[in-house]
A = this chain, B = another copy of it.
């Protein structure tokens, strides 16, 4: 498994917020009930999303959460990174402040880690995929299920990605 339920649940929260965008603040308890997820745990996750500037909150009665930006301006890379932390395929690969990837086992500059190429490329493909996908892309899927013809397309497109 590559990501924990933090990403899974958090993405679901973002999708729900996006679908109800414009209806005013959405309370976490509504989302928790709708998706069958533990409310107290979602509070931790949405705190990360808020600190990352992806959602805004309204306290008090009738409060809740809203998207900080339109859904088509939020990349899934931002969402996943806010929830899971910096995306690295493996512990020894980490991204420095300058954005350069380094391998912790590569202390000696003469000794180039032969596996670094692999993990760097894996990371790149994941980050690119997450950056290209916008939150709005996921909501079109969930919206389209209201019509029968669109449902078929959604299912087949998902199934076609198997190797």
Contacts and interface: CB of A to CB of B under 8 A. Distances in A.
A119 to B, nearest CB: 8
Nearest to A2: B2
B112 A155 contact: yes
B1 A88 contact: yes
Contacts of A39: none
A1 to B, nearest CB: 6
A141 B7 CA distance: 34
Interface in A2-51: 2-5, 7-8, 11-12, 15
Given A125-B129, A138-B117, A160 B107 contact: yes
A40 B20 CA distance: 54
Contacts of A162: 95, 99-101
Contacts of A126: 2, 122, 125-126
A148 B8 CA distance: 45
A104 B1 CA distance: 14
Contact of A111 (B90, B99, B117, B160): B160
Interface string A116-129: 11101111111111
Given A2-B2, A156-B111, A161 B129 contact: no
Contacts of A110: 145, 148, 153, 156
Given A2-B87, A112-B145, 12 more contacts: A1-B88, A5-B90, A107-B160, A111-B153, A111-B157, A114-B141, A117-B137, A117-B157, A118-B138, A120-B158, A121-B129, A121-B133
